[in-house]
A and B are shown apart, each in its own frame.
Chain A
Amino acid sequence: MKKALALILAMIMLLCTASFAVAEEAKTLTVVAWDATTTPYLVAQKEAFEASHPGVTIEYVDVASQDYAVKTTTMLAGGDSSDVFMVKEITDLLNWQAAGYEEPLNSYIEASNYDLSGFAGIESNYAVDGEQYALPFRSDFWVLFYNKDLFDAAGVDYPTNDMTWEEYADLAEKLSGDGVYGTHYHTWLSAVVNWDVCDGVNTLIDGNYDDLAYFYELYQRLEDAGACMAYDEVKAAGLHYSAAFEDGNVAMLPMGYWFVSTMINAIKDGTCSFNWGIVSVPHKEGVAAGSSFGNLTGAMINAKSENKDLAWEYISWLAGEEGSIATATTGTRPAWVSETVAETMASADGFPTDDASKAALVPVYVGIEIPASEHSSEISTVLNEVHSLIMTRECTIEEGIEEMNERVADILG
């Protein structure tokens, strides 16, 4: 038995030394992010930070966006010591906080006298019981993209910053035909019905989903009229929204602000070549024009990091004015918005030059896509499951909404 034990130990030691051979360099900050090589703002941020902090290298750990939650959670659960993790969903942050993976930031904020005012209050979505756990560096809200060339060809006026959903649907129908779709919906729940939270009253975790019917009906009306691609096909083909819009046969596309930088690049590298613009998303009767919903993206320090001070230096820079300018140059909307930052956003190379697009940069209200709560991830699982039933018309809108109400009531207890 002793012999066997000795063998085991020897084997383990052998394995350990083999892996320690890959030692880390000093002054390298590892940052876990998704699609690091293809996302322009990550590239810009890295360049700007390294330029202003000589001797420091940012090394991205690239994770495919679809696998981000699974992968990062496994990494953290396994005790990964990467210094900074990007926070994709607020629910991730909440779960990570509960598991103790995140370094609390209040002491750093006090020590460095960090000014939070530029966030205008949205940073509180990253706080639990008064303790800040991450800083937002990006705040995307949804806007309506449109293909100016298609509108010109049809001789129809461009969409405006003040449109109701009915006006939008009429517009979509008017533009459809001859291989042109008036609008395009990505398969996500958020792309179809999240507009419900724009009124500042409804949320997606309150357990009552009756109001969603309005948006599902609107969608089905457009699908039936052939004014948008059918959900079935978009889903089965795994069609990406950028491919759909860049193909040039889709007139409008409600999508998150992050798509601006994708479009700027697509035009630059010649993937597509039409004129485009953005306007505020349509609104329901009685909801203020310019209301939208959105999500935050931030960065947190891993509690297991060995370079916490450097990591703080990085995330505070990233979320602050300098980082925000770097982010804004690529057409991405930073969470920190000052006058200089807004100016940078509008003057980003490739950003549409019309006044409506510029005006759409400043929404009057931005609701949170799914607010953080103990049950957010379970609720969104249910909503997404039922969403796919309604969208494939496997059940009627009423049945679907009833199922949502029922199952979420179960979760909320």
Chain B
Amino acid sequence: MKYKVNEKGYYGDFGGAYIPEMLYPNVEELRQNYLKIIADPDFQKEFHQLLKDYVGRPSPLYLAKRYSERFGANIFLKREDLNHTGAHKINNTIGQILLAEKLGKKRIIAETGAGQHGVATATVCALRNLECVIYMGEVDIERQAPNVARMKMLGAKVVPASSGSKTLKDATNEAMRDWINNPVDTHYIIGSVVGPHPYPDMVAIFQSIISEETKKQLLEQTGSDQPDYVLACVGGGSNAMGMFYHFMDDENVKLIAVEAAGKGVSSGFSAATTYLGNEGVLHGSRSILMQTPDGQVVEPHSVSAGLDYPGIGPQHAHLFKTGRGQYVSITDEESLEAGLLCTQLEGIIPAIESAHALAYLEKMEFKGGENVVICLSGRGDKDLDTYIKYFNL
């Protein structure tokens, strides 16, 4: 349990709830109730029923044979790309929408970068007939038009965030402002393991289904529930936290988190937070973030909108600082090449986010026979434009 949150809402030096008083009643209501609600048998029943019948879980753990041959290890892909709406994001939105209902909330807000979390939120709002407002950076609205259309079709109102860099960080600011101005009937579905306590813990719990299933599937397929390596990409870090969750206390399992190096960690266009950042407070928690010496948040860059975030969740900061997790980075180009390789070897077009995790295989050395699990967090349909441009398809 040494990597889990403590009673004060901290993971070692990281976490807490750095929020203005206007947000306190909402966050406190959540803090007092989330564990109780999640533990309730009725909640569990409904949550798992929806994950099974609506999302399509369990997602397969697929032994990728041609990949394995190429890299000389047993490469397993955890197929979150096969979930309804095409990514792991829906695991969390299903959990939070049920929780919001139990809290009697009538209105749902969320932030989104690439639009995956926005679509996953709009989807569950349609499913449960709740009002839905999605904040999205103006820049992202332009580069993710199909997801904007999806959200609108699902009945959500998409509000452009026009401040700052007009991307995920600014959409998050706008969603927080909305919550401040609507303090009673609104629930904010944060899409990653970031934000004030209890969000990082709550989102991690909902995403932990990924590693819970993986352990069972590994045991069936390999005879052991302990792989040698577990890999996942990290923006805020929700798929990685879900993928690491049930392996954190298995100290012999190496956890590798892959950040987006953008055009290179020293290029000035990067989102490699643990490499470029230091400790500070962003979006309600103490963690590691990219900032100037004066404490102003630096604009990140990544070809992948889902990794284009200047911070990481506090639990990741803790795994990084304690050395439990190894945090590495992959450039835009390396990720796109890995995306193509995965498509050609396995017939799976991965999201560019997930392709960052795949790309790190090129940098690993295997003796042969190791078991490696990679979280394929999403499918690449949304990224076709980027792939088309890069490869002149």
Q: Do A and B come from one complex?
A: no
